[in-house]
Amino acid sequence: MNILKGAVLGAALTLTAACTTPFTADVSRFQRLPAPTGETFAIVPADESLNNSLEFQNYARLIAGELVEEGYREVASADGASMVVSMAYGVGNPREKIASRPSGRMGFGYGGWGNPWWGGYGGWYGRGWGYDPFFYGGGFADRDVYSYTVYNSYLDLDIRRPGGEPLFEGRAVAATRDDNLPEIVPDLVTAMFTDFPGMNGRTITVKVPEEDRR
């Protein structure tokens, strides 16, 4: 296989890898949640105006399913629950990001072939590699500069005793290419409940494989 064919094949493989990038979220949790010994819970929206929201109820069912798997029992009303679970979710305003990628114009000389996180060996026309969470590619090519839109989304989960004693405070955040909450929030729920309830005061990065996405 000559150098040109090898470079083309390498670019194709990295593009394929980019298409199967897992959903990634950073999850922070503070907790002193008791081990389940018959505790009951009810889920309420942090924003009371969402009490009758069908969208909220859909996400609440996902969280309830996770808590039931952990050994807790759901009840219909917060008045009769030993734990009150408050949930908030949302997405921020779009932000434009600038990145670069191989243009397909193959050449020889200063083409950089390096780790995309840490710089390279001098990209074509002096442009080195830069980290792009939505692309992973490699060299022997001119580079095109392009822009894309990123949205920051979040899921907040707060669990308290009826009297207000805090038991769990968690936040999962992610950067995504769209603001489609019905697709994003289920993945944030999966991230939030990965190794639940987690170590107190730790922030972890959770990658949800494509096959595990809801």
Per-domain boundaries in the chain: 1-199
Q: Which residues contact 148 (CB under 8 A, 6 or more apart)?
A: 96, 97, 99, 134, 177
Residue 94: the pLDDT is 80
* Least confident span in 22-36, 38-52, 95-109: 95-109
Q: What is the number of other CB atoms lying within 10 angstroms of the CB of residue 119?
A: 14
pLDDT for position 114:
39
Distances (CA, A) of 37 to 34, 66, 174, 198: 8, 16, 33, 18
Return the higher-pLDDT residue of 48 and 132: 48
CATH 3.30.160 matches 1-199: yes
Q: Which amino acid is at 57?
A: Q
Q: What is the mean pLDDT of residues 73-82?
A: 93
- In the prediction, which pLDDT does 105 show? 58
Residue 103 has pLDDT above 90, yes or no: no
* Cβ-Cβ contacts under 8 Å for 120 (sequence gap 6 or more): 112, 113, 114, 128, 129, 139
How many angstroms separate the CA atoms of 156 and 8, rounded?
A: 44
> What is the identity of the amino acid at 156?
D
DSSP-derived letter for residue 6 is: H
Q: Per residue in 146-191, pLDDT tens?
A: 787 889 999 999 999 999 999 999 999 999 999 999 999 999 999 9
In Å, what is the CA distance from 72 to each residue of 18, 33, 37, 63?
A: 38, 11, 8, 11
Q: Is the peptide bond before 197 cis (omega within 30 degrees of 0)?
A: yes
Count of residues for the chain?
214
Banded pLDDT at 212 (limits 50, 70, 90): confident
pTM of this prediction?
Answer: 0.70
Return the bridge partners of 90, or none. 154
The first and second tokens of residue 166, run together, are 């805090």
State how far the Cα of 159 lies from the Cα of 42, in Å rounded to an integer: 10
